[in-house]
Chains A and B, each alone.
Chain A
Amino acid sequence: SQTIHQWPATLVQPVGSPLSLECTVEGTSNPNLYWYRQAAGRGLQLLFYSVGIGQISSEVPQNLSASRPQDRQFILSSKKLLLSDSGFYLCAWTWDSSTDTQYFGPGTRLTVL
């Protein structure tokens, strides 16, 4: 069966510090991968998606970036965090592009102080 992992689970970082969040998927190959941010009381905001190694599409211009160095690994990064980057970051995957039925990881709660 397929599983998706995210780490760390919780992170507290000062403003201006760098960020690296990692997501890995097991039990599948060639998944589409997604990064979302969920702010309190708001819906899920798609940040990046990737259909293959090295292929990244950005949905929202901001100080975040994403990379996919391996088929089942997706990384979210920032060089300098802002207060507004606080939120719940979720990684998701799908293997069926026709339906785009997405399965989510456990999430990383980021607090920028």
Chain B
Amino acid sequence: QKEVEQDPGPLSVPEGAIVSLNCTYSNSAFQYFMWYRQYSRKGPELLMYTYSSGNKEDGRFTAQVDKSSKYISLFIRDSQPSDSATYLCALRGEGFQKLVFGTGTRLLVSP
């Protein structure tokens, strides 16, 4: 079983839709949860960072962590064509440990 599972997509939605992107994980020691956005042929860009459980909101983006279910989500409201990219989740435990990345979900937002 992979440490982090992420549906590769592509997920196709119309402009203005609410998008839900998800990752499941198996290691209960993960405490730090991040979401990165990666445009084609570019480096990943940090979008959201959450410690432990709960929600965090930043503009149109909301990150949600459910540690009891080992499930994290990224919601995008009022999606735009410029949101079309691959979204990677990244998780880490306490102490100096390496980040574990999901393989990414490709999102396509059509005008």
List chain A positions with a Cβ less than 8 A from chain B: 6, 41-44, 46, 49, 59, 88, 90, 92, 97, 99-107, 109
Contact = CB atoms under 8 A, between A and B. Distances in A.
Contacts of A102: 46, 90, 99
Interface stretch (B37-45, B54-62, B64-72, B76-84): B37-45
Contacts of A106: 42-43
Nearest to B41: A109
Given A43-B4, A46-B98, A99-B49, 9 more contacts: A41-B103, A43-B103, A44-B44, A44-B101, A59-B98, A90-B44, A99-B32, A100-B99, A103-B46
Contact of B103 (A42, A46, A49, A59): A42
Interface residues on B, range: 20 to 34
26 contacts: A42-B103, A43-B4, A43-B101, A43-B103, A44-B44, A44-B99, A44-B101, A46-B98, A46-B99, A49-B98, A59-B98, A88-B41, A90-B43, A97-B96, A99-B49, A100-B97, A100-B99, A101-B34, A101-B46, A102-B90, A102-B99, A103-B46, A104-B43, A104-B45, A106-B43, A107-B41
A103 B49 CA distance: 12
A57 to B, nearest CB: 10
A43 B99 contact: no
Interface of B: 4, 8, 32, 34, 36, 41-46, 49, 51, 88, 90, 92, 96-99, 101-104
B104 A43 contact: yes
A104 B44 contact: yes
A99 B49 CA distance: 9
Contacts of A104: 36, 43-45
B99 A107 contact: no
